[in-house]
Amino acid sequence: MKAAIVGGGVIGGGWAARFLLNGWDVAVFDPDPEAERKIHHVLDNARASLPKLYDRPLPPPGTLGFAPDLATAVRDADWVQESVPERLDLKHRVHAALTAAAPAEAIIASSTSGFPPSALTDAGARVLVAHPFNPVYLLPLVELVGTGVDTAAKILTGIGMYPLTVRREIDAHIADRLLEAVWREALWLVRDGVATTAEIDDAIRMGFGLRWAQMGLFETYRIAGGEAGMRHFLAQFGPALSWPWSRLTDVPELDAALVERIAAQSVFCKD
């Protein structure tokens, strides 16, 4: 099986690593002259971490190639994964080209975190959304939207992913709507000087982040409701919904001062 990776940034590189280490051949196309170096960096990380998730050996890895152009990359591909920047004009151009060049039976998928399939093309090109999560080679979730998701789900399960079919086309699918909510509130907390980025990360990773890695939001709340369960929880915490517990009803302005504050607070690691 062969995957064509169109766009070799953090997400495209992660897809390349996941396919390769699960035995697929991979062809990458990215006009960035640094793409090859960057993808090898992601691949080194994946080789060091992905095998530790399994108690069985992974299949022999496929071969990795870098194509000089888009048409060469998608030749003979079974799966085409587009991970170019989130600009609609660019997505439209790329998907017109992919539909024209890819084999008729190939699945063409977009990594878009925000756009529904119907927005990704202005000329009827075929594309479904397969939205992964960074690092793509480790996190199992992939949100699927559009036609042909059943076949896509089987293929992605085969490379160790957990497909979640989204019932309705909606901007930002499911997970990124939740992330956007947290992100906005976190930006307010930083902007208002309530917490630093490191303190917010601590509040997550030492608390509800640990719960959510196990069971998500509703299940933890059902348990929090004690013996009376979810109805009790909703009765107890429902009223707080309308209390001024957040600044969500406003969108924070990401001005230069806030960007600088966040960037300056965000240098946690030594790398």
Specify whether the CB–CB gap between 62 and 75 falls below 8 A: no
Q: Which residues of 9-157 form beta strands (DSSP E)?
A: 25-29, 64-66, 79-82, 107-110, 128-132, 141-145
Using CA atoms, how far residue 95 sits from 83, 91, 110, 128, in Å, is: 11, 6, 9, 11
Q: List the one residue from 33, 56, 193, 270 that touches a copy of itself (CB under 8 A).
A: 193
Shortest Cβ 97–a copy of itself spacing (Å): 23
Query: Which C-beta is closer to a copy of itself: that of 100 or that of 205?
Result: 205
In angstroms, the CA 229 to CA 14 distance is 40
**Taking contact as CB under 8 A, which single stretch among the options 54-62, 91-99, 149-157, 223-231 is the one that binds a copy of itself?**
223-231
Specify whether the CB–CB gap between 16 and 132 falls below 8 A: no
Query: Which C-beta is closer to a copy of itself: that of 99 or that of 110?
Result: 110
Shortest Cβ 244–a copy of itself spacing (Å): 6
Query: Which C-beta is closer to a copy of itself: that of 31 or that of 226?
Result: 226
Query: Which C-beta is closer to a copy of itself: that of 100 or that of 170?
Result: 170
Shortest Cβ 191–a copy of itself spacing (Å): 12
Shortest Cβ 10–a copy of itself spacing (Å): 5
Q: List the one residue from 10, 90, 100, 123 that touches a copy of itself (CB under 8 A).
A: 10
Q: List the one residue from 90, 123, 223, 257 that touches a copy of itself (CB under 8 A).
A: 223
- By CB under 8 A, tell whether 220 contacts a copy of itself: yes
Specify burial of residue 230 (Cβ count, 10 A radius: 0-12, 13-18, 19+).
middle
- By CB under 8 A, tell whether 219 contacts a copy of itself: yes
Shortest Cβ 23–a copy of itself spacing (Å): 22
* 176-215 exposure pattern, b = at least 16 Cβ within 10 A, e = fewer: beeeeeeebebbbbbbeeebbbeebbeeeeeeeeeeeeee
Shortest Cβ 122–a copy of itself spacing (Å): 19
Using CB under 8 A as the binding rule, the residues of this chain from 140 to 179 that contact a copy of itself are 140-141, 143, 162, 164, 166-168, 170-172, 174-179
String of DSSP letters for 135-189: STTT--EEEEESTTHHHHHHHHHHTT-EEEE-SS--TTTTHHHHHHHHHHHHHHH
CA nearest 126: which of 151, 100, 163?
A: 100
Query: Which C-beta is closer to a copy of itself: that of 76 or that of 237?
Result: 237
Using CB under 8 A as the binding rule, the residues of this chain from 196 to 215 that contact a copy of itself are 197-215
Specify whether the CB–CB gap between 143 and 112 falls below 8 A: no
| Total Cβ atoms within 10 A of residue 12 | 25
- By CB under 8 A, tell whether 123 contacts a copy of itself: no
Using CB under 8 A as the binding rule, the residues of this chain from 44 to 103 that contact a copy of itself are 85-86
